[in-house]
Chains A and B, each alone.
Chain A
Amino acid sequence: MKKYILKPGRHQFAPGSAAVHSSDNLTDEEAEWYLQRYPHIAGLFIAPPEDSKSVSPEVEKPRKRRARRVIGGPITKSIIH
């Protein structure tokens, strides 16, 4: 399955270029090559690669435990007479 999918239509990668890039003619290797040289084109992809990278590690992270709130200082044993 393709990792990099361009949004529908034909796109320019370099300013002034003819719009020739589409999902049909762009392999993953080419997409990575272009992304390295033209970082601004990340927004042209359906799932921008930067977002998918930044999201995935955080999902796996365990949630931080909430610190217990201590009200009224340390609990002392109450003496029952």
Chain B
Amino acid sequence: MSIYNKINAGFSLGSAEPITSGIEDVVYIFNQDDFVLTYDTLNPLIIKDITAVGTAKVYKFEGTNNSFNTMSKLAKTQVGPRYTEEIDFNIAGLSTDVKTQIMAMGYGRVRAIAINNHKDGDSAVELFGAVNGLIVTEAERNAADETLDGGYKIKLTNPDKLKEPYPPRAVSIPPITGSATYASTIAALEELVG
């Protein structure tokens, strides 16, 4: 992006790829220090590869009933636009294993990958916390809550006073040859899952 402050394309509304709201009920989370990201040489908004440091793994948190959500919002600053990110998800479980993971996400920084319901284009799979990572800022369990039936409601956000310099990055991992597709990206991600 050599010309960073000039727009160079417009957008025409069509019926070929109508935008769709929501994300799938799955979020991939991994420790920030455990994986290195390879960005597209021409476009820093695209991640072309995710490589594990050592034997690190990506962890998959599954939900149901369209209960996960992501949000990215521009925050104007004196040095240019920055972005705040939020991921809301839940864990329908109650055990020390669950509590351990939630505690760890409150201390250490993680990155998270969500899969949009809108799968046309190259941003079907998005990564949050690319530069500064994310931490748990809300982990609430209300035993009497009928909405979650006693499960954990969790929110991942940027750490205090930190924002992301880019909108959520598109994860677009190509197969061994050829161009990246949704299928090749998901296959590459699943290979990293522990």
Contact = CB atoms under 8 A, between A and B. Distances in A.
Interface residues of B, number: 18
Given A16-B24, A18-B120, A34 B184 contact: yes
B183 interface: yes
Interface residues of A, number: 17
A4 interface: no
Contact of B181 (A13, A16, A27, A29): A13
B56 to A, nearest CB: 21
A29 B179 CA distance: 12
Given A17-B183, A38-B187, A30 B178 contact: yes
26 contacts: A13-B183, A14-B182, A14-B183, A16-B24, A16-B119, A16-B182, A17-B119, A17-B182, A17-B183, A17-B186, A18-B119, A18-B120, A20-B181, A21-B181, A21-B183, A29-B176, A29-B178, A30-B177, A30-B178, A33-B175, A33-B177, A33-B184, A34-B175, A34-B183, A34-B184, A37-B191
The 8 closest A-B pairs by CB, nearest first: A13-B183, A14-B183, A37-B187, A17-B182, A33-B175, A30-B178, A29-B177, A33-B176
